Amino acid sequence: MKRAVQGFTLLEVLVVLSLLGILLTLIAGAISGANRAMAKAERYSTRLDEVRSTQNFLRGALGQSLPLAAAASGVTQSPVFVGEPHSVHFYAPLAAHLGGGLYRYSVTLAGPRLQVMLERLRDQTLQPAQEPQVLLHQVESVQFSYRGISPKGEATDWLDHWPWPTRLPVSVRIDAHLTGPVPWPLQSIDLRLDLSSEARTL
């Protein structure tokens, strides 16, 4: 006698297909979640690099501030350092890999962007400003404060406005609030030169 050929019933096939569908759904969800987590980590890492690069740029530029000023007609002493609550203007060299030379830096908050504008200092005059360069996006607010030595030789506390534009401060502090999970670590930058020096023109 021939043996009866045994196979799967329709119900068993449907159950197996249902289980496979559930398994594939779970796998797809896990892969999608892993991709989202990876993308989020990459965005966080990119944002962290942007914040660090901006702080490094500001530390290098402000740290090399010079007691220099462009010549101006009718003015005894032109300002060498203008420190406001939401902007700062100063003279410093540009890094060699960026072209070198002496420039007037203007760091300001324009909407949600922290940006810098550069004016080349040459032959005692400022050349036309370059287009502003964005340092950091998604900035909610920025606060500059300044500490230094008064003309009477007295050390100041942190000031939200630098009242002696013909003198350099001792330190500049930058506090910013950013959109997103990456914070701005409170930054304090010490200037490296003789801070009691008065302005001189090139």
Listed by start position, the domains of the chain span 47-190
Residues listed for the chain: 202
Q: How far from the centroid of its chain's Cα atoms is residue 189's Cα?
A: 14
Structure tokens at 35: 């991709």
Q: Judge residue 185's burial from the number of C-beta atoms within 10 Å of its C-beta, 0-12 exposed, 13-18 middle, 19 or more buried.
A: exposed
Q: Collect all residues with Cβ–Cβ distance below 8 Å to 115 and sequence separation of at least 6.
A: 107, 108, 109, 132, 133, 134, 135
Q: What is the pLDDT of residues 16-60, one digit of tens each?
A: 778 888 888 888 777 777 777 777 778 889 999 999 999 999 999
DSSP state of 165: T
Q: What is the pLDDT of residues 82-105, one digit of tens each?
A: 999 999 999 999 988 778 899 999
Q: What is the pLDDT of residues 172-197, one digit of tens each?
A: 999 999 999 999 999 999 998 654 44
DSSP state of 181: S
- Provide the sign of the torsion angle of the four alpha carbons 30, 33, 39, 42, taken in this order: negative
Q: Collect all residues with Cβ–Cβ distance below 8 Å to 109 and sequence separation of at least 6.
A: 86, 87, 115, 139, 141, 142
Cβ atoms within 10 Å of 148's Cβ, excluding its own: 23
pLDDT higher than threshold 80 for residue 5: no
CB 119 within 8 A of CB 155: no
